[in-house]
Structures are given as C-alpha cells and as structure tokens.
C-alpha cells in the first residue's frame, strides 16, 4: 500500500506544535478538517499514481517525479496537522475529533518545514527504495548479476553451504550504499516529527493506536510472552535437525546461522521443510506441484484468490484491476517486485503489484494481498479520513485470515487436490505452517524495535549493525554466518527499512489472523481442529467479516475487533490453540536437548 498512509504502532503526541487558539470554534474545526481531507485526498491520488509509476518503471526521472508529488502531499499533510493544533482543547463532536486525531497520525514521515530539507528528505526516501529495487549481486562482472528473486531462489532451494553463504552475503552488500542516506533520513525525519509535536519519528509511528504509549509497549510484551514458548520449541527442534544436516556449522545450543533457514531474512522457514519434516509424516501434498500439474498461469493464480472472496459474498474486482496491475516481472526495465496491494484513487482503482511465480508461497501471498484490496473497497464509502484499517495490523491480518482457510478441503473444492488427506498427516501440515507463521513472530518485533531505538538515539550510527544483530539474536536466536562490521548495513537489506515502511503491523497481524480465524470459523460452525477449518463459501462468516471491514478507521480498533471476535483485547491464545498438537509433539522431540540459546 502507499507509504503516504501511515503504518504502525503507538506513542501519543509528546507536545503540540502550536498553542491552541482560544477563539477557535467547533464549527471552524469541522469545516477545517472536512476541507483538509478533500484536498489531501486529491494530493494523495496524484502521489499514488506517481508512486505506482516509480515502482513499476524505476528510472531517475520517475524517482524525481514521485519524490516531488510525495513531498507535496506529505508537506500539505504536515501543514494541516500543525494548523489543526489550534483546535486542541476544544470540545468537538466525536467524528471531527477522530478525524483531527488521525490527521496528526497519518504519516510515516513528516518533512521539516524548511523547503530544502523537505525536498531532500523525500528525495532520499525515494532513492533508498530505488536502490533496493535495483539491487543486484554481481560476483564476477555484469554477466554474472543476480537479482533478489534469483538469490532468494538459491536460499530456498540450495543445500550447498557455500552457495547459500555466497547468496546471503551478496544480497546484504546491496545495502551498504544506503547507510549514508539512512543516517541523514533519520536526522530529517526526526526533525519533521518534532516540529509536528512528537518526540521523534519512532514516537510518531507508535502513536496511531487508541492506547497510551506504555500500554502499547506492555501489550507487545504480553503478546510475545504468550507465544514465546511455542517459538522456543520450534527453534530447538529446527536447530537439532539442521545440525544433523550441516554438522558443526550449526551449534548444538546456540543461535542458528541465518543463511540456513531458507529465506534471505530468516523470517520464514517453510522452504527448509524437507530438512525438518516430522519422521513418518511425509507432506500429503506439495501445493507448488499441484499448481504446476494444473498448468496454472499467473492469471489463474489471481483468479483463485478473487474466487475465495466471491464465495463469501463480495463483489468481483473491477475490470481496471486486471488492466492496470503488475502481475509479472517485465523483461525491459527495473521494477519493485515486492508484493503490495494498491488503492490508487481511494475508491475502486484497486491494483496488485507482484512478480508472480507459480508457487504455493505466491498462491498464499495473492490471497493476502487481495485481502488488502477487498478491505480498501469495503471502506471506500467512509469519509476520506476513515478510509484505512482499524489499525494497520488489521490490514495485514485480513488476507492472512483468508490464507488460513487454504486447507486441504479448500484445495479439493478448487480441483487442485483429489481428496483431503487423513488427519494423521496434520503434524506435517502444522509444521509447514509453523515454519511460516511461528518462525516469523520474533522477526516481526525486531525490525521496529531496532528502528525505534535508532530514532530516539539509543542506537547511534556507529552501532547500527552491531545492535541489529544483537536484537536478532535476542529475539530470533539467529546469527550472521560471517563477521559483520559497521561497514555493512544489513537492516536495509530488508525492503521495509529501505522504503520507510513501519513493520510492527506484521507482528500484530500474525497474532490477529488466528484470533480472526478462530472467531470466523466459529461463526461458520466448524467444530473440528482450527487447522482444518475453512470459511470458504460461508456467507454468514463473509457478512460478519464485511461488517468489520466497512468500519474502516471510523471507530477505535478495539470496537472493530469486538465486531469480529467478540472481545476488545488482542489475544494470542488462538495461535497456541491452532498449533497445540504440534507444540505437544515438539516438546516430545526436544526432550533431553537444549532449548533456547
């Protein structure tokens, strides 16, 4: 989704930028915010179109145009946000008060008031994302260059330690040139945030929740502690199996080398399933092979995802979606292939940006991204200020909730699978999903834990890389395969860091999707194990889901959560319920072996 619409997390305004005007009236406030949201909608659409071109046709010119229009939209938003402080302290009607609050919290970056610094900041952010998108590893000249897709394939498929190490080290190197820009980006982003009244840019990111800052921090700790035992069990089992494969390359009781987990960032371990599969529990099917057996092309991949939402009672995607989306990597230009869903006009110009490959992973990713698109359309009748998710974790969670319904029974209904396997194979299926979902949880915390500390000055530039790996070891139990120094800048080898996209939403989404799944499958009347429940084809579950989606950001997220789950508190027990059979099995396998690092 567009970077102009904020991303994540919570810490309320530290101080207001300007003093409230004692002569201001509630009627002035209503007129001010209604005018502001219409003007910002127009600027946002213009910037969104330029951002789309920049992402799907990377050149110096498209970066410059995108930076210019982003700067205009961001500067206008900052200007309106600062002007809105004249209404602070007024007793306003709930809608006006919420619109003004969301205005102040609607940015992932606030440009400084100085024009030259504002232009510099937007130019830097566009350049960092562009550097990431153009990143290639060329070990022996231009003819040997590999892009991220190719390097990721090596990490996913190779079992040669030398080849894995080479691909991993090669990609990390693309981030080194970003460091200088990143240091300046932090300085300017903090300056803009402080002028708006926040302590720093990280504080601005953490301010979008309808919670106090300390409550939000405590909430993250509470949720992590709920799921940590499951992660520790999974980590210990995977480490022992990788040690069987790679010998002393994997320590018996320490962190796992990052390049061995099947993913460039060790955030998703599903590609190493063949190495850690439960004995005598061969996977009942390989979704990638099922798709290829049916000669599935990119369009059918997207049609499968759309079909799920149609089965719940949602309307088809508009014709423009199929005309304007990027579905495959073009042969003639550089593009950003990182999957994302776009709502260019904030009404119904919905688009998908991907470089689709016929894999089970991309099958699930498409379901996820279309979750964004259907959410975007569901709230398009709300006032512009409320055309967003209840909180950004919700936006990420919706598509993944649908993906949890990609069960064997669902694949049978699509004709991809002849019959659902017996429940005796569930440990293998749960392992596959845990390698994706449970393995991700600590990584979902690390990205912004690091950035928040960078923004508030706790991590100075001379310790960027050192602290990055300290946090990854603390939360993930992951270590770099070779010595890293401050000449490296490994955080920016992750898209979201290079592109100024807050990340805590993904951790929350990983929690919320299981809570949503448990609630919706209950509505659908599924009484079996959670991992075998699907809402595909259930209109009652679809109506319940849509009722929440239509709310957008019009009410606090706790009310939206209550609409779908019957509670106002996020609850990670659903993830423990879902994986309970696997947790029991893992603990049996880990008896007598070290757990933790």
**Which residues are marked as active site?**
338-339, 368-369, 372, 396, 496, 506
d(CA 566, CA 564): 6
DSSP class of residue 418?
S
Could you tell me the two tokens for 482? 């070779």
> Burial of 449 by CB count in 10 Å (0-12 exposed, 13-18 middle, 19+ buried)?
buried
CB 370 within 8 A of CB 352: yes
Could you tell me the two tokens for 265? 């960032």
Q: Residue 292: how many CB atoms within 10 A of its CB?
A: 12
Q: Could you give phi then psi for residue 205, rounded to 5 degrees?
A: -60, -40
d(CA 508, CA 396): 8
d(CA 89, CA 18): 12
d(CA 217, CA 211): 10
d(CA 107, CA 197): 13
Write out the DSSP string of 499-562.
TT---HHHHHHHHHHHHHHHHHHHHTT--S-GGG---TT-HHHHHHHHHHHTTTTSS-HHHHHH
Query: Number of helices (H) and strands (E), helices first, in the chain?
Result: 24, 4
Could you tell me the two tokens for 307? 């079909």
Angle between helices 213-246 and 580-589 (to 10 degrees): 50
Task: Pick the closest to residue 480 from 236, 231, 165 (CA basis).
Answer: 165
- Strand-strand pairing, 350-353 and 478-479: unpaired
Write out the DSSP string of 349-395.
-EEEE----SSHHHHHHHHHHHHHHHHHHHTTTS-GGG-S-SSHHHH
d(CA 359, CA 301): 9
Task: Pick the closest to residue 266 from 532, 446, 497 (CA basis).
Answer: 446
For residue 351, what are the β-bridge partners?
342
Which residue, chain included where needed, has tokens 């055309």?
387
Task: Pick the closest to residue 235 from 429, 437, 438, 426 (CA basis).
Answer: 438
Could you tell me the two tokens for 531? 């991992």
Could you tell me the two tokens for 308? 């799920």
Q: Residue 453: how many CB atoms within 10 A of its CB?
A: 16
Task: Pick the closest to residue 66 from 136, 132, 128 (CA basis).
Answer: 128
d(CA 327, CA 298): 7
Task: Pick the closest to residue 341 from 60, 36, 48 (CA basis).
Answer: 48
* DSSP reduced 3-state for 478: strand
């Amino acid at each position: 989704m567009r970077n102009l619409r904020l991303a994540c997390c919570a810490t309320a305004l530290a101080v207001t930028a300007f003093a409230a005007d004692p002569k201001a009236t509630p009627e002035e406030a209503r007129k001010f915010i209604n005018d502001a949201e219409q003007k910002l909608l127009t600027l946002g659409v213009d910037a969104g179109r330029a951002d789309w071109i920049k992402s799907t046709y990377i050149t110096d010119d498209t970066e410059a145009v995108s930076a210019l229009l982003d700067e205009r939209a961001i500067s206008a938003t900052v200007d309106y946000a600062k002007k809105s402080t004249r209404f602070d302290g007024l007793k306003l009607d709930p809608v006006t008060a919420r619109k003004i609050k969301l205005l102040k919290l609607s940015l992932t970056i606030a440009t400084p008031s100085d024009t030259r610094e504002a232009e510099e900041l937007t130019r830097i952010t566009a350049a960092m994302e562009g550097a990431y998108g153009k990143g290639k590893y060329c070990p022996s000249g231009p003819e040997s260059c590999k892009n991220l897709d190719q390097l990721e394939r090596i990490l996913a498929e190779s079992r040669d330690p030398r080849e894995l190490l080479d691909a991993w080290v090669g990609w990390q190197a693309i981030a080194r040139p970003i460091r200088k820009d990143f240091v300046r980006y932090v300085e300017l982003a903090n300056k803009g945030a402080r002028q708006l009244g926040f302590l720093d840019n990280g504080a601005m990111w953490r301010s979008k929740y309808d919670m106090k800052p300390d409550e939000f921090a405590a909430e993250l700790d509470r949720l992590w502690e709920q799921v940590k035992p499951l992660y520790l069990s999974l980590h210990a089992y995977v480490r022992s199996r990788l040690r069987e494969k790679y010998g002393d390359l994997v320590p018996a009781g320490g962190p796992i080398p990052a390049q061995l987990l099947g993913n460039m960032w060790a955030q998703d371990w599903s590609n190493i399933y063949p190495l850690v599969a439960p004995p005598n529990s061969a996977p009942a099917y390989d979704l990638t092979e099922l798709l290829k057996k049916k000669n599935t092309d990119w369009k059918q991949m997207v049609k499968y995802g759309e079909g799920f939402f149609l089965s719940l009672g949602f309307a088809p995607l508009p014709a423009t979606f199929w005309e304007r989306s990027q579905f495959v990597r073009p042969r003639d230009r550089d593009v950003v292939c990182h999957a994302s869903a776009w709502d260019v006009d904030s009404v119904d110009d919905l688009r998908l940006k991907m470089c689709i490959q016929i894999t089970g992973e991309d099958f699930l990713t498409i379901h996820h991204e279309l979750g964004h698109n259907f959410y975007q359309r569901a709230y398009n009748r709300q006032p512009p200020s409320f055309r967003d998710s209840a909180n950004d974790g919700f936006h990420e969670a919706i598509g993944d909730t649908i993906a949890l319904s990609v069960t064997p029974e669902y694949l049978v209904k699509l004709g991809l699978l002849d019959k659902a396997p017996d429940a005796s194979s569930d440990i293998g299926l749960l392992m596959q999903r845990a390698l994706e979902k449970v393995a991700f949880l600590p990584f979902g915390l690390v990205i912004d834990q690091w950035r928040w500390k960078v923004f508030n000055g706790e991590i100075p530039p001379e310790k960027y890389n050192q602290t990055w790996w300290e946090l990854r070891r603390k939360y993930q139990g992951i270590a770099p395969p070779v010595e890293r120094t401050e000449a490296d800048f490994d955080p920016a080898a992750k898209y979201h860091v290079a592109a100024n996209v807050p990340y805590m939403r993904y951790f929350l989404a990983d929690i919320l999707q299981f809570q949503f799944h448990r609630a919706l499958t209950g509505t659908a009347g599924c009484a079996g194990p959670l991992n075998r429940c699907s809402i595909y084809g259930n209109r009652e579950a679809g109506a319940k889901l849509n009722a929440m989606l239509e709310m957008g950001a019009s009410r606090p997220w706790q009310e939206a959560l209550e609409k779908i789950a019957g509670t106002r508190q996020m609850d990670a027990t659903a993830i423990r319920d879902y994986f309970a059979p696997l947790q029991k099995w893992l603990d049996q396998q880990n008896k007598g072996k070290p757990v933790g690092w």
